[in-house]
Every structure is written in structure tokens, then in C-alpha cells.
């Protein structure tokens, strides 16, 4: 465990000092402040912010994770030449990357929101936004680990990361939309919800939808949606699935890492 802590401490220091992380925090700080100042009421700010979070958090988490792993590859190899358990080394690397990113996100979005009074006016919505951003960060750094430990070449790794981001944020929804049109004659509520669960970006979006668009979602006449969005288990289900989404790529990347021949 102490290995984890040491690696974590080193990695955190390394990440926090990087310009990328500071830029990331400043980006959210500027965006949120700008929206709060110019965007009008709380009803307006949170949805706009949600759009930004859903785009930027996966992209940045994915890229930062892969870049740092490729950059730190020699150091990782050096550590591995020491009597160090791979699992604890992996955990240290992961936490050292993820926690600073989460910190930057919470700082950049949370501070201006709290100062604008949004956290008091619509605490539920603000908390859900912060929660979904936090979970998304953890999911996408884990996915970054999968990419970095699967593809040896940094250029190919980064390309794959970008492609993955594009697929999960845009292409996937397009496919779902087209599919839902093609099968419009069938009861689609359950398949649609399953499709949302299979994509972490959509899951995070559903969390935000529950907070922001509940009125519209409850206006839909289907019983499955009524239950899902009306009775609270949609919220719990989405949050739990999104947490499970952290474990899946983490386990995969860990498996690669422990069996990898450096």
C-alpha cells in the first residue's frame, strides 16, 4: 500500500505542476464564471454548463491520461525494475492522475457555482452536475489507461483516444438515433435505456437530464420512463452504472498492465 501512496504522491505532484492541469482548471473557472455572469438565471447556467462538461471532461481526461502515461513510460519501467508490486504501482498511477483532474474540475466548476448561489438555489442540480463530472473523469482516465497500455505507440494511442472520444460523444448517439427511427414501430423504451447504460457519456448525460429536464421526461407517456425518471431509481441506477463504468476499464487496464512485457 505504501508503494501506492508513494507513487500516488509523486504522480500527483507531477500532474499538478503541469500546465495542462492548471489550464484545465482555469478553463472551467472561466467558462463557469462567464456563464454565471452573462448567462442569466440559474435555469440557464446549469444546462449550458452541462453541455460543456459532457464534451470537455471526457476529452481532457482521456488525453491527459494517455499523454502522461506515454510520457512517464520510462519512469514506470524504472519503477518496475524495483521490487514493486504491479497492482499497487498501477493504483498509485491511476489515483495520482485521476484525483488531481477531479480536483481541478470541482474547483473550476464548483467554486463559481457556489459563489453565484446556484448551489443554494438548485442544490440537487448542482450536485448532480458535479457528481457526473467527477465520475466521468474517473471513467475516462481509466479508459485512457486501457488505451495507453494496449497500444505501444504514443501517436497511435493518442489517435485512438481521440477516435474513442468522438465515437462515445457523437457517433454513438447518432447510431442510437438512427436505430430508434428504424425500429420506431417497436417498444423502444427499454432498449433506449440499455443503450444509454452502455455508454458512459450518455449515462452522465442522463444524470444531468434527470436534474434539468425532469419536466419533459415525465411528460413522455411511456410507463418505463415514468418509473425510471419519476421514482428516483433512475438516478440511483444511472449513478451506480456510471460507477461500475470506472471498474470495467480499470480492471481491463490492470490486467493488461500486470501481464505486460515491458
Partner 1 sequence: MRRALLAVAAVVAAAVARPGVAAAQRPDVLRVGAAGPYTNVTAAVAAAHPHDTVVVEPGVYREETVVIDRPLTLLGREGAVLDGEGRRGLVVVAADSVSVLGLTLRDTGITFVDDRAALRVERVRFCHIEGNRIENAFFGIYLANAGDCVVRNNVLIAHGDRESRAGNGIHLWYSARVTIEDNRVEGHRDGIYFEFVEDSRVRGNRSQDNLRYGLHFMFSDGCSYLRNSFRRNGAGVAVMYTRGVVMEGNDFDDNRGGAAFGLLLKEITDSRIAGNRFHRNSVGIHAEGANRLEVVENDFVANGWAVQVLANSEESSFRRNNFVGNSFDVSTNSRRTYSTFEDNYWDRYRGYDRDRDGTGDVPFRPVRLFSLVVEQNEPALVLQRSFLVTLLDLAESVLPMLTPDNLVDARPALNPIATPWRPS
- Can you tell me which of 36, 57, 176, 242 binds partner 1, judged by CB under 8 A? 176
Q: Is 212 in the site for partner 1 (CB under 8 A)?
A: yes
CB of residue 123 to partner 1, shortest distance in Å:
15
Q: How many residues bind partner 1 (CB under 8 A)?
A: 41
Q: Is 118 in the site for partner 1 (CB under 8 A)?
A: no
| Nearest residue to 92 via CA among 203, 257, 244 | 257
Q: Which stretch binds partner 1 (CB under 8 A): 14-22, 69-77, 148-156, 177-185?
A: 177-185
Site for partner 1 in 41-80 (CB under 8 A): 41, 43-44, 47, 50-51, 54-55
User: How far is 245 from 140, CA to CA, in rounded Å?
Assistant: 9
- The DSSP output letter for 39 is S
Count how many residues are written for the chain.
262
Site for partner 1 in 17-46 (CB under 8 A): 40-41, 43-44
- Can you tell me which of 220, 231, 244, 260 binds partner 1, judged by CB under 8 A? 220
CB of residue 161 to partner 1, shortest distance in Å:
17
Packing angle between helix 86-105 and helix 233-259, nearest 10 degrees? 140
Q: Is 156 in the site for partner 1 (CB under 8 A)?
A: no
CB of residue 232 to partner 1, shortest distance in Å:
14
- Can you tell me which of 127, 154, 167, 192 binds partner 1, judged by CB under 8 A? 192
Q: Are the C-beta atoms of 206 and 192 separated by less than 8 Å?
A: no
User: How far is 71 from 149, CA to CA, in rounded Å?
Assistant: 12
Q: Which stretch binds partner 1 (CB under 8 A): 27-35, 132-140, 145-153, 209-217?
A: 209-217
Q: Is 233 in the site for partner 1 (CB under 8 A)?
A: no
Nearer to partner 1 (CB atom), residue 86 or residue 189: 189
User: How far is 76 from 68, CA to CA, in rounded Å?
Assistant: 11
HEC profile of 144-203: HHHHHHHCCCHHHHHHHHHHHHHHHHHHHHHHHHHHHHHCCCCCCHHHHHHHHHCCHHHH
Q: Are the C-beta atoms of 60 and 143 separated by less than 8 Å?
A: no
User: How far is 151 from 154, CA to CA, in rounded Å?
Assistant: 8
User: How far is 145 from 89, CA to CA, in rounded Å?
Assistant: 13
CB of residue 213 to partner 1, shortest distance in Å:
5
User: How far is 12 from 162, CA to CA, in rounded Å?
Assistant: 24
Site for partner 1, rule CB under 8 A: 40-41, 43-44, 47, 50-51, 54-55, 169-170, 173-174, 176-177, 180-181, 184, 188-189, 192-193, 196, 202, 205-206, 208-209, 212-222, 225-226
Amino acid at each position: 500500500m505504501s508503494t501506492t501512496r508513494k507513487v500516488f504522491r509523486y504522480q500527483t505532484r507531477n500532474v499538478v505542476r503541469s500546465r495542462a492541469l492548471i489550464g484545465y482548471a482555469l478553463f472551467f473557472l472561466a467558462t463557469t464564471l462567464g456563464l454565471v455572469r452573462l448567462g442569466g438565471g440559474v435555469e440557464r447556467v446549469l444546462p449550458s454548463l452541462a453541455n460543456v462538461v459532457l464534451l470537455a471532461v471526457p476529452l481532457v481526461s482521456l488525453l491527459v491520461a494517455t499523454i502522461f502515461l506515454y510520457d512517464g513510460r520510462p519512469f514506470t519501467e524504472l519503477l518496475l525494475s524495483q521490487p514493486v508490486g504491479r497492482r499497487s504501482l498501477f493504483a498509485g498511477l491511476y489515483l495520482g492522475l485521476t484525483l488531481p483532474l477531479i480536483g481541478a474540475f470541482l474547483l473550476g466548476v464548483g467554486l463559481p457555482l457556489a459563489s453565484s448561489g446556484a448551489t443554494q438555489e438548485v442544490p440537487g442540480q448542482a450536485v448532480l452536475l458535479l457528481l457526473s463530472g467527477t465520475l466521468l473523469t474517473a471513467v475516462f482516465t481509466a479508459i485512457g489507461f486501457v488505451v495507453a497500455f494496449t497500444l505501444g505507440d504514443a501517436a497511435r494511442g493518442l489517435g485512438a483516444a481521440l477516435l474513442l472520444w468522438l465515437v462515445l460523444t457523437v457517433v454513438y448517439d447518432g447510431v442510437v438515433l438512427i436505430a430508434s427511427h428504424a425500429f420506431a414501430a417497436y417498444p423502444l423504451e427499454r432498449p433506449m435505456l440499455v443503450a444509454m447504460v452502455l455508454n458512459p457519456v450518455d449515462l452522465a448525460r442522463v444524470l444531468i437530464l434527470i436534474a434539468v429536464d425532469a419536466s419533459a421526461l415525465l411528460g413522455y407517456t411511456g410507463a418505463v420512463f415514468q418509473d425510471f425518471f419519476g421514482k428516483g431509481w433512475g438516478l440511483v441506477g444511472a449513478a451506480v452504472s456510471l460507477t461500475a463504468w470506472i471498474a470495467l476499464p480499470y480492471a481491463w487496464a490492470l490486467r493488461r498492465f500486470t501481464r505486460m512485457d515491458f
